Amino acid sequence: MNTPAERIAYAISKCGKKASVLAIESNLSAARISQLAQGDGSLKAENLFLFARATGFSAQWLAEGIGDKYDAGALEEGHVLIPQFTAKAGAGPGHTNHHIEDLGGLMFRRDWLTRMGLKEKNLKVIYSTGMSMFPTIADDDVLLIDEGQREPLNGRIYAIQRPDGDISIKRLVHTLTNGWIIRSDNEDKRAYPDESATDTSIGHLLIIGRAVWHAGAL
């Protein structure tokens, strides 16, 4: 069982409950439960905890395949599950296709999100790829993106959707001449050149959200 879809289907087959009962307890339709039982698709974060409690399986195991699969208390009230996607945000010369599939999610403490001023509904987890933002962000680092913060601020890092649909991670720097630099943190500017933008063009930039947290290897 290597995917969330396979684990969800397994949980349905082992819990002993009818689809109609699981649907009510998971806030899903009976038809959706039937699809999930066939390994078709995954659960949104807001449904995952309810589904885990209904089936007696661990939400963390269902989403990530780790921990005790029968520990239904793995996702406590003090934690929230932030949706995680397969799409990677390019932090290098080659970007990735903007194909997004819900993978489940990563858990964060609710009180930490509150201290950070972050709203659960605005948050997404995504992986970076490439080294243009090194040493700040390395290849395959995990990023927490706040889609509620789309206004460009000087020195902040954003996930940006390019005209071709690809996503890149860049720092936006406001210059003294009322322009902007779309900056790569990597000092090798031959491999990772910065881009210039006017105040007008920066307003047309499709900012997905601001990177508010990241995790990577030490």
| Residue where a domain terminates, one of 64, 88, 105 | 64
Residue 72 maps to a domain: no
Closest CA to 86 of 46, 44, 126, 120: 126
Q: Mark whether 109 and 146 lie in a shared domain.
A: yes
**Residue 21 and residue 40 in contact, taking contact as beta carbons nearer than 8 Å:** no
Instruction: Name residue, tokens 């002993």.
Output: 16
- pLDDT score, position 8: 93
Q: ∠11-123-200 over CA atoms, to 5°?
A: 145
Which domain CATH number covers 26? 1.10.260.40
Which domain CATH number covers 128? 2.10.109.10
Report the number of distinct structural domains present in the chain: 2
pLDDT digits (tens, 9 = 90+) for 103-114: 456 778 888 999
Q: Mark whether 92 and 200 lie in a shared domain.
A: yes
pTM of the shown model: 0.64
Token pair of 125 as six digits:
């987890």
Residue 138 maps to a domain: yes
pLDDT digits (tens, 9 = 90+) for 52-65: 888 888 888 888 88
- Domain residues for the domain of 145 are 79-215
